[in-house]
Structures are given as structure tokens and as C-alpha cells.
Amino acid sequence: MKILQVCSASDMGGGEVHVADLAQALASRGHAIYLAVRPDSPLRAPLAGVIASWHEMPLRNSLDVQSARAIADLVNENSINIVHAHVGRDYLVAALACRKSPGAKLVLTRHHYLPLKRNLVYRWMLADVAAVIAVSSSVRDSVMERLGLPAERIHVIPNWIDPARFEPIEREAARAMFRLKSNLVVACIGQIMPEKGQEEFIRAAARIAKMRSDVEFLIAGEEYKEGEPFTNQLIDLAITLGMSGRVKFLGYIRHIPELLSAVDVVVVPSWDEGFSLVTIEAMAARRPVIASNVGAISQIVRENISGLLVPPRNVQALADKLLWLLADAPLRDRLASRGQRDVHEHFGREQIIDRIEALYRNVMGIEE
């Protein structure tokens, strides 16, 4: 098949990792892959030497008629079969392009937990979408409510990881990479922004620090706002709470598998999530997870079986469960072992990409 992936993202997050890996996997399976991206696309680096057919265009917003025309021309000139858009602002642009290219089928992936706009333009323009991929059942319910599409056109297909990439390496070697010396290390990994819960993490860490002196806390990730105002706010909070020596801000970390091997617990205190890549990465790396009981996370982590869940934005609940987990090594081992098994069973790379490939064939009417 000839497949166009449309992604206007300017920063590399979980959804963009998904797009890059999907494009790479489909190309390796013999499909002709085209990409419509912004000139500053972060997909360039992970797909360098893999995808030859790059097409830069403005992709400014949902009303970017210039980009819609460019996509339509690209589709018609190359007889592209599937147009797959991944970012909300690209949906209407891709839909308009497909209306000018009757041979192509439109597929959308909804990665984000925030609902789509509630207006008639979205419903009308997306009424002909061949399929919507929702990364969790909570996202599916939101898409159905906002777009009014038939249930059979919305498919829950989660994101994935390559489990082999997250096989733990030797702990002491990993700790040496990040200069970790404390007996126990707790990490919060993800984009720096209020919704990811780093403030709650620091406040919970401060409560634990009053009772244990052998625990170190890491915040890994970067902020995409100019001047990093929230990062500076978090640094000030750590100082105010007397945690400047106990909380390390690592910034952007390229070697996530190595970082996971170096830590003992991963905390995912998000306010909500459409899907949580870091949760399944930590579980794949055989690390116990404490996460907010929200959205897709509540469908990934099974309470006291494959991890621990806490109410979002509840600092005391987070501190209590983290203190319990830090004090109980057998519990950490039990949760980590079951979590790793769950990820291998439900979020393996090949099996999920098989499902997306099958969906493409289905909307094209191609027999297996």
C-alpha cells in the first residue's frame, strides 16, 4: 500500500514516537511511506535514512487550505491509498484533502485525552472518515460523543513498545551513568508541564524525605515553553521545601531504558492521559509503577497486581503509597514482574502494528 502519514508536531512526545515507529515498521514491511510534516519536524532525526519521501508544508492549523491542497496534490500524483493524520489540528486539513482525492481513505489517530471541539464543522468534515484509532477506551468514548460516528468506525488500538528495548541492564552500571548514590531512587519521567503532575511529585517527595534519608528523587524531561517558566517554578518549590539536594532535574534524557534500569520506582502522577507511554516503558523495564487512576492509565495498571494507583493531584495519597512501596522490596518485585508480563502480552510492537496494518487493509477492502 501507499500510505501518507500526516503529523504537524513540532516537539517529540509520546504520540510522535508512535508516528516515527509506525512509519519505520510499515516501511520495513514493504509499504511505500510518505510523510507530510512541518519544516521543523522532530520526526526527521528518528526517521533519517528510513523514509525518503518527505513533504514539508505549513500545516498551521485546522483551516490551512494551502496545506490541504498540497496534500491532495501529493495523494493524486502518487495514487496514495491511505491518509493517516495524528494531530488534532491536522484532521480537517487531511479530511479536506481526501475530499479532493476520492481514491484515498482517511484514517485518524486520537492520542490525546482532551475532547475534540464540539461543533458542526468537525462533525460534517469528519463524517466520511474511514476509521478512527483511539489509543484507549476512554478516548474512544470521547470521540464517539463528539463526532457522532458509528461505533464500528472507531477502533481501540493502544500505542506500543518494543519489549526487547527495555530489558533491564545491570543496575550498578546504570546508576553510575546517572551518578546515583542513594539506596533507593524514584523517578518521574515526561514532558515538564503542570498536567504531568511534577509539582505533586515534589510535594510527595518532601513528605517522604522527612521520614527517610536514603531516597533520591529524579525528574526527567524538558519543558517546551520559552524560558521554561514551569521548570523554574518547580526548582523554586524544591528549594522552598528543603528538597534542593534530594530532587535532581535531569532535563531531556535520550537513554530512557538505561535510566529505568537505574531507578527503583517510577511515578506517573498525571492529571489525565489519553495513553501513557512512560507507564508501559517502566513496566516493560520491570520497574514498579505508582500512577494516577485516570484515563488510559487505569486500563494499563491493575491495582496491587501490576502497579499501584492513586487519585490524581492527591499529594498525601501519593506519598502514602510511595512510602509503602519503598518499604516493601517483595511488593516492588511482585508488581514489577506482573507489570512486565502484562506489557509483553498486550503492548508488543509487532502485534499492535499488525492490527493497524489490518485496519488499513480493511478500509481499502483488501482481503488478507
Task: Domains for the chain: give ranges and CATH numbers.
Answer: 2-160+348-364 (3.40.50.2000), 163-346 (3.40.50.2000)
| Predicted local confidence at residue 113, as pLDDT | 79
What is the Cα–Cα distance from 197 to 55, expressed in whole angstroms? 36
Give the pLDDT mean for 282-303.
Answer: 95
| Predicted local confidence at residue 245, as pLDDT | 87
Give the pLDDT mean for 153-182.
Answer: 91
Q: 121-125, 131-135, 225-229, 306-310: which has the minimum mean pLDDT?
A: 121-125
| Predicted local confidence at residue 18, as pLDDT | 87
Residue 165 has pLDDT above 90, yes or no: no
What is the Cα–Cα distance from 72 to 90, expressed in whole angstroms? 13
Q: Which helix (H) or strand (E) holds 131?
A: strand 131-134
Q: Which three cell numbers stand for residue 154?
A: 472507531
Chain mean position to CA 281 = 10
| Predicted local confidence at residue 116, as pLDDT | 81
Beta carbons within 8 Å of 208's beta carbon, 6+ residues apart: 215, 319, 322, 323, 326
Extract the runs of DSSP E, i.e. beta strands, from the chain. Answer: 2-7, 32-37, 53-56, 82-85, 105-110, 131-134, 154-156, 184-189, 215-220, 247-251, 265-268, 289-292, 308-310
Could you give the strand order of the β-sheet that contains 131-134, starting from the edge strand earlier in sequence? 53-56, 32-37, 2-7, 82-85, 105-110, 131-134, 154-156
User: Is 168:258 a contact under the CB 8 Å cutoff?
Assistant: no
What is the Cα–Cα distance from 174 to 54, expressed in whole angstroms? 37
Residue 156 has pLDDT above 70, yes or no: yes
Residue 90 has pLDDT above 80, yes or no: yes
What is the Cα–Cα distance from 62 to 122, expressed in whole angstroms? 10
1 in helix, strand or coil? coil
Task: Write b or e for each residue in 89-123: b if 16 or more Cβ atoms lie within 10 A of its Cβ, otherwise e.
Answer: ebbbbbbbbbeebeebbbbbbbbbbeebeeeeebe
Give the pLDDT mean for 193-219.
Answer: 97
Residue 114 has pLDDT above 80, yes or no: no
Beta bridge partners of 303: 307
Rg of the chain taking only CA atoms, in angstroms: 21
Beta carbons within 8 Å of 226's beta carbon, 6+ residues apart: none
| Predicted local confidence at residue 306, as pLDDT | 97
Q: Which three cell numbers stand for residue 118?
A: 464540539
Residue 49 has pLDDT above 80, yes or no: yes
Mean pLDDT estimate for the chain:
93
| Predicted local confidence at residue 365, as pLDDT | 87
Give the pLDDT mean for 2-7.
Answer: 96
Residue 204 has pLDDT above 80, yes or no: yes
256 or 121: which leads in pLDDT = 256
| Predicted local confidence at residue 368, as pLDDT | 63
Task: Tell the residue number behind the cell numbers 546504570, with chain if given.
Answer: 174
Give the pLDDT mean for 114-127.
Answer: 82
Residue 254 has pLDDT above 80, yes or no: yes
| Predicted local confidence at residue 330, as pLDDT | 98
Give the pLDDT mean for 120-139.
Answer: 90
Helices 315-327 and 198-209: angle between axes, nearest 10 degrees? 50
| Predicted local confidence at residue 246, as pLDDT | 93
Beta bridge partners of 108: 85, 132
Beta carbons within 8 Å of 229's beta carbon, 6+ residues apart: 223
Q: 38-52, 239-253, 308-322: which has the minimum mean pLDDT?
A: 38-52
Give the pLDDT mean for 25-31.
Answer: 94
Q: Which of 213, 214, 182, 187 is nearest to 198 (CA)?
A: 187
Give the pLDDT mean for 105-123.
Answer: 85
Give the pLDDT mean for 106-124.
Answer: 85
Task: Tell the residue number behind the cell numbers 462533525, with chain if given.
Answer: 123
